């Protein structure tokens, strides 16, 4: 299955997403904030072991998901890695900003587990992973 980097500062949500996606066969790499996600993505790229997808919360300490995504899209090693946001911030302006910084999708919390699995499957099919 796919290798997915998840950046989520809330431990319970990060664990739930990790467990859920791992249970359907995905390899999960977890980060606690945007800066850590960016660092891990760069390390993976330098090892030629890119994630198939990066899922990020929007509001996180050290670096927001928007900032991390913008930095990733400006980095030639990471520019083609698809990023999707997971956020409770579903206002039109928030979603628009997510797409403006380069996200492929924007998933609104809360979500049902089966909906998350289906959405991730759709995204991975869309990007050919």
pLDDT tens digits, 47-83: 999 999 999 999 999 999 999 999 999 999 999 999 9
Q: Which of 12, 59, 7 is nearest to 28 (CA)?
A: 7
Res 73: pLDDT: 97
pLDDT at 128 over 90: no
Long-range contacts of 92-96 (CB under 8 A, 24+ apart): 94/58
Per-residue pLDDT at 67:
97
106: its two tokens: 């924007």
Enter the pTM of the model: 0.94
Structure confidence by residue, pLDDT tens digits, 9-49: 999 999 999 999 999 999 999 999 999 999 999 999 999 99
Domains of the chain: 3-127 (3.40.50.2300)
- Which residue has 């999707």 as its token pair? 84
pLDDT of residue 9: 95
Classify the phi-psi angles of 105: left when phi > 0, otherwise alpha if psi is within -120 to 50, otherwise beta: beta
Q: What is the pLDDT of residue 91?
A: 81
């Amino acid at each position: 299955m796919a290798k997915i980097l998840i950046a989520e500062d809330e431990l319970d949500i990060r664990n739930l997403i990790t467990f859920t996606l791992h249970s359907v066969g995905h390899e999960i790499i977890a980060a606690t904030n945007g800066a850590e996600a960016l660092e891990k993505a760069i390390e993976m790229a330098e090892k030629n072991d890119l994630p198939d997808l990066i899922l990020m919360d929007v509001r996180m300490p050290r670096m927001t998901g928007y900032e991390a995504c913008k930095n990733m899209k400006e980095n030639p090693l990471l520019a083609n890695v698809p990023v999707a946001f997971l956020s409770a911030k579903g206002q039109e302006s928030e979603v628009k900003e997510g797409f403006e910084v380069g996200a492929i999708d924007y998933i609104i919390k809360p979500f049902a587990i089966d909906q998350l699995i289906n959405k991730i499957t759709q995204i991975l099919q869309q990007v050919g992973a």
